[in-house]
Amino acid sequence: MEPLWKLFYLLEPAPFTLVVTAVGVTFGSAFRALNYGKEMEKNHDLSETSITLDRSQALMIPVMSSVSLLLMFYLFTSVSQLLTVFTAVASVSSLFFFLSPYAAYLKSQFGLADPYVSRCCSKSFTRIQALLLLLCIGTVAAWLVSGHWVLNNLLGISICIAFVSHVRLPNIKICAMLLVCLFVYDIFWVFFSERFFGANVMVSVATQQASNPVHTVANSLSLPGLQMVTKKLELPVKIVFPRNLLGGEIPGGARDFMMLGLGDMAIPSMLLALVLCFDHRRSKDTVNLLDMHSSKGHKYIWYALPGYAIGLVTALAAGILTNSPQPALLYLVPSTLGPIVFISWIRKELAELWDGPLPNMNDKAHQIEFVGKGEGIVISPHVSGHLLGGTVWKITKDGEDVIYALDFNHRKEKHLNGINQSAFVRPAVLITDAYNALNNQPYRRQKDKEFTDTIKKTLRSDGNVLLPVDTAGRVMELVQILESCWTEENLNYPIFFLTYVASSTIDYVKSFLEWMSDAIAKSFEKTRENVFNLKRIRLLVNKSELDNAPDGPKVVLASMASLEAGFSHDIFVEWANDAKNLVLFTERAQFGSLARMLQADPPPKAVKVTISKRVPLVGDELIAYEEEQNRIRKEEALKASLIKEEESKAFHGADVNMSDPMIMDASNSHPLPGAVGPHGGGYRDMLIDGFTPSTSVAPMFPFYENNSEWDDFGEVINPDDYVIKDEDMDHGTMPVGGDVDGKLDEGSASLILDTRPSKVVSTELTVQVKCSLIYMDFEGRSDARSIKSILSHMAPLKLVLVHGTAEATEHLKQHCLKRVCPHVYAPQIEETIDVTSDLCAYKVQLSEKLMSNVLFKKLGDYEIAWVDSGAGKTENEMLSLQPLSTPPPPHESVLVGDLKMANFKQFLSDKGFQVEFAGGALRCGEYVTLRKVGDASHKGGGSGTQQIVIEGPLCEDYYKIREYLYSQFYLL
């Protein structure tokens, strides 16, 4: 044990620099991994996707690391040159990945021209990228020649950053498992390996120097100068610093260096990348390194990063005091993982971190690109916000979009997100509906409150509430509203969801949380509870269960919404005569249906309904039915035998039939209704039924040859011979109870097992309608006011209106002609219209001469530039843009960008200006006003040319605000 005063050695340049470098590399790797992941997600670059480790892969890392360590311990000398070559290749790739963002930043900052010059490995390389690749190769070559520790550290850092960016951990659970395993791994190989292998395996491998292949080549070519310069190499699997960092001595052996393995930086960096991603997801802020310190709330990254620094300093201190190598992960794992687990437990966010985020599939539009005849067409689905799985289709061809958007909803609901309006701007054609063009709705919270208040009022008046609903569509929203209301207010009135598929529907919906609203996803991440684990709503599949429920007021959601049939029809007939009851419609019914009649204003006092009931056949009807079925079976058997005989003659020839066996069709046996048997039914046919002799019957044992067809792969199989006939499926055994999982409720089982012949008996009944009838719009469609606003935002070139009444369609058409676009079509049923684009699109090739003089500027995820060129043709007759032969005239300055006045208001507020909206304009201070004016030639205010007018006297505020305004745009 060394004296404590030696801890002051930690303040010397070498250990201090090592700690600062390791902390910086760890944080930089995590931050780069976050940015890289968002960049790949934004660009949908599937070829660059990272690897997310699962549990088995994480557990294999310590195992494979141990195996590799042993192989290196015994075979390092033999494979050192191969390892050096492999490391050099990996270093070039990693260094290129590390430096690419900086090259892109410099290119955009200085407006450097960067044309594409070549393709390699299915990727296009620009001129700057090619130069960067040459720089990386030169750097690795310099390291091979000199073996300098600075170059070694640079390559090691780049490998660490590339590894953390491409290999990720999904959650803290997998991360903790990996860290604990590596914790044990590090302790064993540093402290206990000498007892088993006669030497400290970890230290031996870490301090060995690899053979230099350049030195080997110099020896073989007799190059004495290169032989003297080159020497054995420290592989960039660690960062090293000379102990006498500022001294004049040149370090000699490994003992002259302080070192830290890449794993001691890369593994904690994966944890930091995980919590950094969690912090960013919670804050929803733009990824900006400069803004991270000012974000509201304490982020986990600021607990993990100091913990890493403390653990590293502790490891160095332990090494100084014990004068022996220390396993860094022994100190880094508790100091890094511990604070995160403890703080998240205090904040009650450990469950969310432990299992990881729920993927939001609504943010991912899976594009379908066609090939062949459809080449160039791309179809993208987007969330419609109307139903779970409801879709708005975006079809792109030659830069033009066709949007098919029917039944969309812009509002966020309990279980669904609204439509993403920003994804649909200025399409060539928009096809939408006019279904709600005349209807306006209150705000969602107000509507939900009126809905629950109406139900509670009826229940407290000792009445029942019937909601006719669909089986698996909009009813999910109603279920969530009622479930949350009953939970918040702790109501005891029973709620029943009654459909034949209620149980299976909810079971399926539970597995689609990632396709639902952000609120549901966040709730699941926090509590790990599925919102469709219904505690207040009871699922029923048989009306007898409802009849057996205790008496008293209740709420029943029953199918079908039209009231024409199903459980809702039967319940309405029973409850309509009681004035205390309420039938609450949540969607407009189809024309001609009973629900539509009841939604009339005023509603009818009495309605005629048809009561249909299935009853079993008895007496003469049953006998007649059985005789008819026997006749049909005999005809089918005879027809089948004739067909088989004709097929046999055609295949074997007429003579072969003399030796054919008798043909028996077992499928012609049918169960006798009501008979008892092992499968729940008996058989009434005799044994000889189904034996149909062919043209002749062999008198003794028949013999026939197998004349099957054969090809190169064997006997030709006829797939029809293996198809299970429908009759076999109908009369075969079926497990009692079963949806897709083999489980059936009692009601469904009775329906399936009851196969007796039956008939439907219908009677008409006049029902006195004394119950209350109310309609509330929960269809999940945007209302008229919102539709008009959304259409103005989309600003299509051509608009097609379908699916609406004549009055609603005409009203929306006239509005759009005035406010949206000049080309609006409202076709009649089966009418064909031509909406071919008026624009002409051409494919042109950008010549290298033109691109070499183009100056690009960064605009978000894109780079833009002004181009003056003329059209020409290449050798293969393809159109090409060529530089002009004469200097082009100067063009007017163009400001490119999309200014949001609300965002600019906040920007000016941060700069100290008093700003407010007044009369559609932004008042800035006392004198200056900003007003956004659309181009008169562009209706709709979409993404066309716009003007921003600055009004006010020429004063100091005027020039400041104008300068701030210019900073929001890119000048071309």
Over residues 741-762, mean pLDDT: 59
898 is catalytic: no
Digit-coded pLDDT (tens) for 215-225: 666 666 666 66
Residue 9 has pLDDT above 60, yes or no: yes
711 is catalytic: no
Percentage of the residues of the chain whose pLDDT score is greater than 90: 24
Q: Please, where are the H alpha helices in 188-298?
A: 193-197, 201-207, 213-220, 224-229, 263-283
Q: What is the pLDDT of residue 937?
A: 41
Digit-coded pLDDT (tens) for 350-363: 877 777 665 555 55
Dihedral of alpha carbons 614, 618, 621, 626, sign = positive
In order, the DSSP letters of 586-620 are: -SPPPTTSHHHHHTSSSPPSEEEEEEEEEEE--HH
Residue 287 has pLDDT above 50, yes or no: no
Residue from 45, 54, 256, 264 carrying the catalytic annotation: 264
Q: What is the pLDDT of residue 829?
A: 87
- 572 near 768, Cβ under 8 Å? no
Residue 51 has pLDDT above 70, yes or no: yes
Q: What is the pLDDT of residue 290?
A: 39
Q: What is the pLDDT of residue 591?
A: 87
Output 65 or 665, whichever has higher pLDDT: 65
Over residues 799-809, mean pLDDT: 92
Q: Are strands 946-951 and 928-934 parallel, antiparallel or unpaired?
A: antiparallel
Output 312 or 854, whichever has higher pLDDT: 312
Output 7 or 482, whichever has higher pLDDT: 482
Rounded to an integer, what distance in angstroms lies between the CA atom of residue 589 and that of residue 564? 10
Domain boundaries, the chain: 4-349, 361-439+780-825, 444-615+762-775, 648-747, 850-883, 895-971
Q: What is the pLDDT of residue 440?
A: 87
Residue from 186, 279, 433, 777 carrying the catalytic annotation: 186
Q: What would you report as the CA-atom Rg of the chain, rounded to the nearest whole angstrom?
A: 38
Rounded to an integer, what distance in angstroms lies between the CA atom of residue 662 and that of residue 639? 16
Q: What is the pLDDT of residue 115?
A: 54
Using 50, 70 and 90 to split pLDDT, how confident is the model at 651? low
Residue 661 has pLDDT above 50, yes or no: no
Over residues 905-919, mean pLDDT: 82
For residue 659, what are its two tokens?
């030796």
CA dihedral 584, 586, 588, 591 (to 10 degrees): -50
**pLDDT-wise least confident of 227-241, 493-507, 749-763:** 749-763
Residue 745 has pLDDT above 50, yes or no: no
**pLDDT-wise least confident of 3-12, 540-549, 789-798, 896-905:** 3-12
Residue 941 has pLDDT above 60, yes or no: no
Q: What is the pLDDT of residue 288?
A: 42
In order, the DSSP letters of 784-836 are: HHHHHHHHHHH--SEEEEESS-HHHHHHHHHHHHHHT-S-EE-PPTT------
Using 50, 70 and 90 to split pLDDT, how confident is the model at 515? confident
Q: What is the pLDDT of residue 467?
A: 95
Taking domain 444-615+762-775, whether its CATH number is 3.40.50.10890 is answered by yes
Q: What is the pLDDT of residue 429?
A: 93
Q: Residue 950 phi/psi, 5° resolution?
A: -105, 120
Task: Give me the chain's average pLDDT, please.
Answer: 79
Over residues 473-499, mean pLDDT: 93
Dihedral of alpha carbons 227, 229, 232, 237, sign = negative
Q: Which CATH number fits domain 361-439+780-825: 3.90.550.10, 2.160.20.70, 3.10.450.50, 3.60.15.10?
A: 3.60.15.10
- 407 near 435, Cβ under 8 Å? yes
- Write a three-state SS string for 285-338: CCCCHHHHHHCCCCCCHHHHHHHHHHHHHHHHHHHHHHCCCCCCHHHHHHHHHH
CA dihedral 200, 203, 207, 213 (to 10 degrees): 70
